[in-house]
Amino acid sequence: MTFDVVESAMEVSRDLAALSVPLVGELVAMDDPWEPYRLIDPAREAVEGARAFLQDLQGAGRSAATARSYGMDMLRWFRFLWAVDVPWDRASRIEARDFSRWLQVAGQPRRPHWRRPGEAGRWAAGGKPYAPSVRAHSETVLRSFYDFHRDIGSGPVLNPFPLDRSRRGRRAHAHRNPAHRPAPLRRL
């Protein structure tokens, strides 16, 4: 039975080379200390799942700069989901895998040039690649986003960005001998 699940997950495939991710939606700086940033969808509506998460960050004492950083990571994720037509609360490991692959290969969006306005608003393959630290930060933010929604009962039961099995249920460097060098926690 497990083999069937793995086999069916491997069959799900997107043509990421042909995927065009429009530069829609935005993270808007608000003139409101109670809501410093708001994630807006293509229909110009607030993304309520992101709003609740950003409010929770603020309640945990995180700065507005942290909210902006997390919001930009979520904006990249939501743009990808909008392009593949998957609601955020229905995203699976397949979307997370494809998003991670897409970040590695597609790179950063090329900004439109006034001489070539037809290229405006789309990611074009071959842009400057995202740094490994940016990709790792994005995955951490999205894992936290889905953990938050799972904990309050408003998102999927399974997190599309789970921790690596070897790191689940552990604290970094917990109960280690201080005379020994700590083991690396992640590969970049």
3-state SS, one letter per residue, for 125-146: CCCCCCCHHHHHHHHHHHHHHH
CB atoms within 10 A of CB 152: 11
d(CA 106, CA 131): 12
- The pLDDT value recorded for residue 109 is 78
Tens-digit pLDDT string for the chain (188 aa)? 444 444 444 556 788 888 888 889 999 999 999 999 999 999 999 999 999 999 999 999 999 999 999 999 999 999 999 999 999 999 999 999 999 999 988 888 776 666 666 655 555 555 788 899 999 999 999 999 999 999 999 988 889 999 875 555 556 556 667 777 777 766 54
The residues with which 27 forms a beta bridge, in sequence order, are 39
pTM for the full model? 0.77
- The pLDDT value recorded for residue 179 is 78
145, with CB counted inside 10 A (0-12, 13-18, 19+), is: buried
- The pLDDT value recorded for residue 86 is 95
- The pLDDT value recorded for residue 3 is 42
- The pLDDT value recorded for residue 181 is 78
Q: Which amino acid is at 178?
A: P
